[in-house]
Chain A
Amino acid sequence: MADRTSRFLPIALGCMTLAFITGFGSGLLSIGKANILYRFAVQWELCVAVLFLAAWTPAILLVSSALAFEVADRGEGFSGAASKALIPALVLAAAVSIFYLLVVPGIRERKTWYEDASALFSSSLMDARDALAKGRIAEAERLLLVCRAIDEKDEGYKELYDRVQAAFILEADAPAEPAPAAGEPDDPAWRTANRFYLESLRARDEGRLFDANYLARRSLSIFPRRPEVRRLVEETWQALQSLGPSAEELADAAFYKRKLEGYAMLQEKDYLSAFRRFTELAADADADQDVRKYLELSREGLESVAFFLDEDRRAFGESDLGELRFESAQPGGRWALEAARCAVSDDGVFFRDLAVKGPGGLELTAPFARLRGDVLLVRAVDREKPDVVWEPAYLAGKPGELGPYAMRVGFDEGNVIEKIRLSGPVADVPLALLATGLGRAESEYRLDVAPLRAEFGLRLAYPFVTIMLILMGAGLGIRFKAIEPPRPLATYLSAPFLVVLGLVPIQAGARAGRFMVSLLAESLPGSFILAWAAFLALCTVASVFFAARVALNAPR
C-alpha cells in the first residue's frame, strides 16, 4: 500500500522532467529554423521547454494517476482507493494549474518576443547590408541602430558596423564637393550641422573669429564627416592664434561668457538651449562643478518638454509591439493615436511615426513620441548631440496649455498598455488582465471580445481538466489492472510511452473544448463565464461518476 501511494509523484515528476528535457532538445533542433539570435538562444530554449512541459502536463497527470491506481489493492474499489491516493494527485493538479495560469502566459509572451526581436534584427541587418552595397550609408547606419538596440555584440552586426564606419571615412576622404551639396540633406544631424556651418562662414566673413571657430566645431561635433567643416575649424583656429591676446585667454573668457548665457537660458526655462549649452561646455570642461550642476538641472527641465532618443531605442530593444490604433472619448473631446510601431518600457509607452488627432481639430504627426502618465511628448532629443531634435509637424489646430511639444491627453499610459496587451495574441494576455479587462476591452477599446472571452474560458477550464484527468486516470487504472501486477521498473518505463499515447485523445479533446468554449463565448456573451463555470463543474461531477462507473468493472 505504501508503495502504491508513493508511485504517483515519482511517475509524474519523472515524466515532467523528461518532458522538459525533450522540450529543450526539440528547441535545440528547431533553433536554426526559428532563426533565433545567439544572445537569446538559451532563454528561448528554456521557454520552449517550459511550454512543452505545460502542453504535456495533462497527459502526464492522466498517465501517472492511471499507473498509480493500476497497482492499487484488488477489491478496494474506486472510492476506497481514491480516498487514499488522490490527495497527492490533487495537490499536484493545483500546483500545475497555478503554474499554467500565472507563469505560462508570461513565458509564451517572452518566447514570442525573442522570435520577433530576432526576426527584426535579421531583417534590419540584411536591409543594412543591402543599403551599404548600394551606397546608402546613412540608411545603413540607421538600420544598424535597430540592430544595436537588440544585440550590439552580434558578430554580424559588429562586422557590418565596422564596414559602415569605414565607408563613412572613405566618403569623408573623398574630394570635397560644393558645401551645400555634400552630405545627407535628409539627415536631421546633417541639416543641423549645416546650419552651424553656414553661421560659422558668416561669422568668419564678418570678422567674428571666435564665434566662427565655435560654430564650426559645433557643426563638426554633430556631423563629423564633412572635410570642409574640418578645414574651417583649422582655418579659424589659426586665425585666432594670430590675434593680439593669447588664444587661451580668449577661450577662458568665452567659456565664462557661455556659462552665463546657459544659466540665463535655464532661468528663462529654455531647457533645450540650456541643455545644449551645458553639454557643449561639459565636453570642454567636464570637471567644472557649475557645468555639471546646471547640466543636470537643464536635463531635468528638458524632460518636461522632450524625451531622449536613447530611451526610445532602449524600449524598442526590449519590446516592439507593432502598430497601434488607440481612441479615447473624454469629456474634453476625442483623442485618436495611430502609430506605425510602439513599445513599452519602464519609461513609458514609446511611439514611432505617430499621428495624433485631438479635441478642437488638433492634428499633428511626430516621428517619435512618448506617453508617460497622461502627458504625451512629441519631441525627441539626441542626448549625445542635443542639437539634433525630432519635432512634431502641426497639420491643424493649435498647441495646448503645455506648449507645442507636450499635451495632456485624457487617458494614461496604463490604458494604452492595457489596449496593447488585450489586442495582442490572446494566449499571451495575463490572467489578471483577462479577468478584469474584458469589460473595458469591449466598451472602451472596441475590441472583439469573443476570442478574449474564449481564452479566459480555456484558462478557467485548466484546473477542472486536470482534476477530471486525474479522476479518469484513477478509474482507468483500477478498471484495467493487469492479472499479474507489473513490476515497478515496467511501470516507470511504460509511463513515457503511455503519455505519448494519451496526448492524442487529449489534444483532440482540447480541440473540442476550444470549439465548445468559442461557441459559448459567441452565443452567450452576457452570462458566458457563469455558464462555462457551471458546465465545467458539471463535467467534473460527471467525471467522478464516470470514473467510478469504469472502475466498477474492475476484476476482483
Chain B
Amino acid sequence: MPMPTPRARVCPMKKLAKIVLRFIVSMIAVELAISVVLVAHAVAEKRFSTVLEAVSGELLSIMPLAVLVAAFLCYYPLTRLYASRLLGYLTLVVLGTLFLALPVVALRLDWIDAPLRDSSLAAAWNYLPISSWYVSLAGLPWLEAGLSILAYACFVSSFWGLSRQSTHRPLWGAFLAPALGLGAVYLFGAFLSGIAEAGFRLVGVTFSRLWSGTILAAISALCLVLFDFTLCPKTEPGRHHG
C-alpha cells in the first residue's frame, strides 16, 4: 500500500493573488458578457455615434454590477484562505473600492473621456437607481463620491457571512448566492430611491438621496458583519471546498 502523500501547502500570498485575479477576471467576464448585448442594442438604437463610445459608456455604467458579481464569486475562496474574518472583509472592501473608484477618478482627472450615462440594463433589471448613482459620482465632491463608493463596497462585501451558512450543504450556498446577489441589487436600488430619503425625513433628519443611500448601505453592511461575527460559522482555511 503506498504511503499517503502530505497535502501540498500553497503559500497564502499566492492564494491571495489568485483571489485578486479571480476578482478581476470575474469583473471582466461580467463586463464582456453584458456589454456585448448592450452595445449591440445601443448601436442598433443609435444612442451612441460610434461603437467605441457605446463600449466605453456601457462598460462604465455596469461597473457596480461587475464588482458585486466578482465579490460574490470570491466569497468561497476567501473562506478557504483566511482564518481572520476581518482580513477577508478588508480584502473585499479594498478590491471593491479600488475597482469602483478607478473609473470615477479617471473621469474626474480627464484621463479618459467616456459618455457616462444610464445603462440599457437599467430598463431590463431594475438597475436604474444604481446606474444613475454611479454615473452621478463623477460630478460629486471628492469626499461625497469616495464615501459613497466605500459604502457600496462594504455593502457588497458584507454578504460574505451569509455564504458561510451553508457549510454542511454547499449546494444551498450555490443556490443562495445568486439570489442574494440579485437581492443586493434590489436592496441598494431601494436605498437610492426616494423611499430612503422619505424615511429619514419621517424621523426628522434631512439627507439628500445620495447620502440616504450611502448611510443605509453602511448601516446594512454593519448589521450583516455583526450577524457574521455572532451567528455565522467561522472561516475554514485549507478546506477543499465550501
| Residues in A lying within 8 Å of B, measured CB to CB | 63, 66-67, 70, 476-477, 479-484, 486, 490, 494, 498, 501-502, 504-505, 508, 511-512, 515-516, 519, 522-523, 553, 555
How distant is the Cα of A484 from the Cα of B172 in the complex, in angstroms?
A: 14
Task: Pick from B136-144, B148-156, B176-184 the stretch touching chain A.
Answer: B176-184
A504 & B125 in contact (Cβ 8 Å cutoff): no
CB distance from B219 to the nearest CB of A (A): 24
Bound complex: CA A483 to CA B167 (Å): 9
Q: B183 — which chain A residues lie within 8 A by C-beta?
A: 504
Chain A proximity mask over B12-49: 1 for CB below 8 Å, otherwise 0: 00000000000000000000000001001100100000
Q: List 27 A-B contacts (CB under 8 A).
A: A63-B175, A66-B174, A70-B171, A476-B171, A480-B171, A481-B170, A482-B169, A482-B170, A482-B171, A484-B168, A486-B169, A494-B169, A498-B171, A498-B172, A498-B175, A501-B175, A501-B176, A505-B178, A511-B124, A515-B37, A516-B37, A519-B40, A519-B41, A522-B44, A523-B44, A553-B241, A555-B240
Instruction: Check B173 for interface membership: any CB of A closer than 8 A.
Output: yes
In the bound assembly, the distance between CA atoms of A476 and B169 in angstroms comes to: 12
Shortest distance between the CB of A450 and any CB in chain B (Å): 12
Contact of B241 with A508 in the complex, beta carbons under 8 Å: no
A524 CB → nearest B CB, Å? 10
- Flag if A515 contacts B171 (CB, 8 Å): no
Given known A511-B124, A523-B40, contact A505–B170 (CB-CB < 8 A) = no
A160 to B31, CA, bound (A): 64
- Are B172 and A508 in contact, with the CB atoms below 8 A? no
A522 to B174, CA, bound (A): 35
Query: For A484, what are the chain B residues with a Cβ–Cβ distance below 8 Å?
Result: 168
Across the interface, name the chain A residue whose C-beta is closest to B120: A515
Contact B124 A519 (CB under 8 A): no
How distant is the Cα of A481 from the Cα of B40 in the complex, in angstroms? 39
**Among candidates B41, B44, B173, residue contacting A480 with C-beta atoms closer than 8 Å:** B173
Interface contacts (Cβ under 8 Å), in number, total 64
Contact in complex: A501, B40 (CB < 8 Å) = no
In the assembled complex, the CB of A324 is this many whole angstroms from the nearest CB of chain B, namely 32
B169 near A519 (CB under 8 angstroms)?
no
Docked Cα-Cα span, A476 to B174, in Å, equals 7
Does B169 contact A501, Cβ atoms closer than 8 Å?
no
Cα A6 to Cα B37 with chains together (Å): 40
**Complex CA distance for A63 and B172, rounded to whole angstroms:** 10
Complex Cα–Cα for A508 and B186 (A): 12
- The 6 nearest A-B residue pairs measured at CB: A480-B170, A505-B178, A501-B175, A504-B179, A480-B171, A501-B179
Closest residue on chain A to residue B176 by CB atoms: A501
- Which residues from chain B contact A511 at a C-beta distance below 8 Å? 124-125
- In Å, the complex CA distance between A516 and B173 comes to 28
A523 vs B182: C-alpha distance in the bound complex, in angstroms? 29
Known: A63-B175, A505-B178, A519-B44. 16 other contacts (CB 8 A): A66-B174, A476-B171, A477-B171, A479-B241, A480-B241, A482-B168, A482-B171, A483-B168, A490-B169, A498-B171, A498-B172, A501-B179, A502-B175, A508-B182, A512-B125, A523-B44
Give the complex CA separation of A70 and B171 in angstroms: 8
Considering only CB atoms, which chain B residue lies closest to A476 in the complex?
B174
A265–B184 CA distance with the chains assembled, in angstroms: 81
A502 CA / B170 CA spacing, docked (Å): 14
Known: A498-B175, A505-B178, A508-B125. A519 touches B37 (CB 8 A): yes
Interface string of B218-242 (1 = CB under 8 A from A): 0000000000000000000000110
Residues of A within 8 A of B40 (CB): 519, 523
- Chain B, range 168-221, C-beta contacts under 8 Å to A: 168-176, 178-179, 182-183
Bound together, the chains give a CA A27 to CA B144 distance in angstroms of 48
Query: Which residues of A sit under 8 angstroms from B182, Cβ to Cβ?
Result: 504-505, 508
Chain A neighbourhood of B41, CB < 8 A: 515, 519
By beta carbon, the residue of chain A nearest B41 is A519
By a CB distance below 8 angstroms, the chain A residues around B169 are: 482, 486, 490, 494
Give complex CA distance A484, B168 in Å. Answer: 8
Chain A, residue nearest B76 (CB)? A480
Bound Cα distance from A5 to B6, whole angstroms: 36
A480-B168 in contact given A501-B179, A512-B124, A555-B240 (Cβ < 8 Å): no
